[in-house]
Amino acid sequence: MQTESTVLKVSGMTCQGCVNSVTKVLEGLPGVARVTVSLDKGEARVDYDGTRVSREDMKRVVDEAGFEAA
């Protein structure tokens, strides 16, 4: 597995429940190894296998969960 890292800016998070939701949808993607979401910074740091999942996939699931990823 070739691990890559990316940081997604996530807007719309207002509480720990939001952090938990974003973490859960990202961890549910195949190829995602680790997710760290910061409410204060408004971002999600993701370690992943770039051969199994793309940054676009990550943005899509965050958007579908009711937040906005950039």
Predicted pLDDT at 2 = 76
Give the pLDDT score at 4: 96
Cα dihedral: 39, 1, 70, 17 (round 10):
-30
Cα–Cα distance measured from residue 31 to residue 17, given in angstroms and rounded to the nearest whole number: 24
pLDDT tens-place string over residues 42-69: 999 999 999 999 999 999 999 999 999 9
Q: Confidence class of residue 1 from pLDDT cuts 50, 70 and 90? A: low
For the segment 21-37, what is each residue's pLDDT rounded down to a tens digit? Answer: 999 999 999 999 999 99
Token pair for 39: 């409410």
> Hey, what are 19's tokens?
């952090």
Domain count, the chain: 1
Query: Which of 17, 22, 30 lies closest to 59, judged by CA?
Result: 22
Q: Residue 33 is part of which domain span?
A: 3-69
Q: Give the mean pLDDT of 12-23.
A: 98
Can you give the CATH number for the domain in which 14 is found? 3.30.70.100
